[in-house]
A and B are shown apart, each in its own frame.
Chain A
Amino acid sequence: MPKVTVDGQELEVPDGATVLQACELAGKEIPRFCYHERLSIAGNCRMCLVEVKPGPPKPQASCALPATDGQEIRTDTEMVKTAREGVMEFLLINHPLDCPICDQGGECDLQDQSMTYGRGATRYHENKRAVTEKYMGPLIKTVMTRCIHCTRCVRFSEEIAGVDEIGALYRGEDMQITTYLEQAVEHELSANVIDLCPVGALTSRPYAFEARPWELKKTLSIDVSDAVGSNIRLDSKGREVMRALPRINDDVNEEWISDKARYQVDGLMRRRLDKPYIRKGGKLQAATWDEAFKAIAKVKPGKKIAAIAGDMLDCETMFAAKALLKACGSTLVEGRQTGMDYDTSNLAAVNFNSTFAGIENADAILIVGSHVRWEAPLVNVRIRKAVKRGAKVFVVGPWWDTTYPAEFLGEDLGVLNKLPKALSDALKNAENPAVIVGGAGLKGAHGKALALAEKYGAAFNVLHFSAARMGGLMLGFAQPGGMEDIVNAKPKVVLSLGADEMDFEPFADALKVYIGHHGDKGAHAADVILPAASYAEKDGTYVNTEGRVQFAEKAVFAPGDAREDWTILRALADALKVEVGFDSFAELQAAMIEEVPALGEEGLADYGALPKADARSKAEGTISAYPIKDFYLTNPIARASEVMQRCSAELLHGEDLAEAAE
Chain B
Amino acid sequence: MADRSPAPDTPELRERWGGFEFTEAYRAKADKAIARYPEGRQRSAVMPLLDLAQRQVGEETNTQGWLPLPVIEYVADYLDMPVIRVLEVATFYFMYNMKPVGKYHVQVCGTTPCMLRGSDGLIEACKKRGMSKGQVSDDNLWTLTEVECMGNCATAPMVQINDDNYEDLTPERLDAILDALAAGEQPKTGTQEPGRHTSEPANALSSLQEMVDANHDYRSEW
Q: Taking beta carbons and an 8 Å cutoff, which residues of A are in contact with B?
A: 164-172, 174, 179-181
Contacts of A171 in B (CB 8 A): 4, 91-92
Contact call B91/A164, Cβ cutoff below 8 A: no
State the CA gap A180–B5 with chains docked (Å): 12
Q: Which residue of A lies closest to B91 (CB)?
A: A169
16 contacts between A and B (CB under 8 A): A164-B81, A165-B82, A166-B84, A167-B82, A167-B87, A168-B88, A169-B87, A169-B92, A171-B4, A171-B91, A171-B92, A172-B1, A174-B4, A179-B84, A180-B82, A180-B87
- Is B9 part of the contact surface with A, judged by Cβ < 8 Å? yes
Q: Taking beta carbons and an 8 Å cutoff, which residues of B are in contact with A?
A: 1, 4-5, 9, 69, 81-85, 87-88, 91-92
Contacts of B88 in A (CB 8 A): 167-169
Q: Which residue of B lies closest to A182 (CB)?
A: B9
State the CA gap A168–B88 with chains docked (Å): 6
Give me the 5 closest cross-chain CB pairs, A-B, nearest first.
Answer: A164-B82, A167-B84, A180-B84, A169-B91, A167-B88
Q: Which residue of B lies closest to A180 (CB)?
A: B84
State the CA gap A424–B9 with chains docked (Å): 48
**With A174-B1, A174-B4 given, is the CB distance from A180 to B92 under 8 Å?**
no
Contacts of A166 in B (CB 8 A): 84
Contact call A170/B83, Cβ cutoff below 8 A: no
Q: Which residue of B lies closest to A174 (CB)?
A: B1
Contacts of A179 in B (CB 8 A): 84
Contact call B92/A165, Cβ cutoff below 8 A: no
Contact call A170/B92, Cβ cutoff below 8 A: yes
Give min CB distance, B69 to chain A, whole Å: 7
Give min CB distance, A149 to chain B, whole Å: 13
Contact call B84/A165, Cβ cutoff below 8 A: yes
Q: Which residue of A lies closest to B90 (CB)?
A: A169
Give min CB distance, B113 to chain A, whole Å: 21
Give min CB distance, B186 to chain A, whole Å: 33
Q: Is the interface of A mostly helix, strand, loop or mixed?
A: mixed
Contacts of A174 in B (CB 8 A): 1, 4
Known: A169-B4, A170-B5, A171-B92. 7 other contacts (CB 8 A): A164-B81, A167-B82, A167-B85, A169-B88, A171-B91, A181-B9, A181-B69
State the CA gap A181–B8 with chains docked (Å): 9
Contacts of B82 in A (CB 8 A): 164-165, 167, 180
Q: Which of B4, B82, B83, B84 has the most chain A CB atoms closer than 10 A to its own CB?
A: B84
Contact call B91/A170, Cβ cutoff below 8 A: yes
Contacts of A180 in B (CB 8 A): 82-84, 87
**With A170-B91, A181-B9 given, is the CB distance from A164 to B4 under 8 Å?**
no
Contacts of B87 in A (CB 8 A): 167, 169, 180
Give min CB distance, A168 to chain B, whole Å: 6
Give min CB distance, B14 to chain A, whole Å: 9
Give min CB distance, A138 to chain B, whole Å: 19
Contact call A164/B84, Cβ cutoff below 8 A: yes
Give min CB distance, B17 to chain A, whole Å: 15
Contacts of B4 in A (CB 8 A): 169-171, 174
Contacts of A168 in B (CB 8 A): 88
Q: Which residue of B lies closest to A132 (CB)?
A: B5
State the CA gap A166–B84 with chains docked (Å): 7
Give min CB distance, A492 to chain B, whole Å: 59
Q: Which of A165, A167, A180 has the most chain B CB atoms closer than 10 A to its own CB?
A: A180
Contacts of A172 in B (CB 8 A): 1
State the CA gap A165–B4 with chains docked (Å): 20
Give min CB distance, A374 to chain B, whole Å: 21
State the CA gap A180–B81 with chains docked (Å): 13
State the CA gap A165–B83 with chains docked (Å): 9
State the CA gap A139–B84 with chains docked (Å): 20
Contacts of B84 in A (CB 8 A): 164-167, 179-180
Give min CB distance, A175 to chain B, whole Å: 9
Contacts of A181 in B (CB 8 A): 9, 69
Contacts of A170 in B (CB 8 A): 4-5, 91-92
State the CA gap A164–B81 with chains docked (Å): 9
State the CA gap A217–B19 with chains docked (Å): 56
Give min CB distance, A216 to chain B, whole Å: 35
Give min CB distance, A18 to chain B, whole Å: 26
Contacts of A164 in B (CB 8 A): 81-82, 84-85
State the CA gap A169–B84 with chains docked (Å): 8
Contacts of A167 in B (CB 8 A): 82, 84-85, 87-88
Give min CB distance, B91 to chain A, whole Å: 5
Give min CB distance, A610 to chain B, whole Å: 38
Q: Which residue of B lies closest to A172 (CB)?
A: B1
State the CA gap A480–B68 with chains docked (Å): 63
State the CA gap A122–B35 with chains docked (Å): 52
Q: Which residue of B lies closest to A169 (CB)?
A: B91
Contacts of B9 in A (CB 8 A): 181
Contacts of B81 in A (CB 8 A): 164
Q: Which residue of B lies closest to A171 (CB)?
A: B92
State the CA gap A171–B96 with chains docked (Å): 13
Give min CB distance, B13 to chain A, whole Å: 12
Contacts of B85 in A (CB 8 A): 164, 167
State the CA gap A96–B89 with chains docked (Å): 28
Q: Which residue of B lies closest to A163 (CB)?
A: B82
State the CA gap A180–B69 with chains docked (Å): 10
State the CA gap A169–B89 with chains docked (Å): 8
Give min CB distance, B199 to chain A, whole Å: 28
Q: Which of A165, A166, A168, A181 has the most chain B CB atoms closer than 10 A to its own CB?
A: A181
State the CA gap A172–B4 with chains docked (Å): 12
Give min CB distance, A167 to chain B, whole Å: 4
Give min CB distance, A403 to chain B, whole Å: 12
State the CA gap A167–B5 with chains docked (Å): 14
Contacts of B69 in A (CB 8 A): 181
Give min CB distance, A218 to chain B, whole Å: 36
Contacts of B92 in A (CB 8 A): 169-171
Give min CB distance, B90 to chain A, whole Å: 9
Give min CB distance, B68 to chain A, whole Å: 13
Give min CB distance, A351 to chain B, whole Å: 37
Q: Which residue of A lies closest to B8 (CB)?
A: A181
Give min CB distance, B123 to chain A, whole Å: 22
State the CA gap A180–B4 with chains docked (Å): 15
State the CA gap A164–B83 with chains docked (Å): 8
Contacts of B5 in A (CB 8 A): 170
Q: Which residue of A lies closest to B9 (CB)?
A: A181
Contacts of B83 in A (CB 8 A): 180
State the CA gap A168–B89 with chains docked (Å): 9
Q: Which residue of B lies closest to A164 (CB)?
A: B82
Give min CB distance, A132 to chain B, whole Å: 10
State the CA gap A172–B148 with chains docked (Å): 14
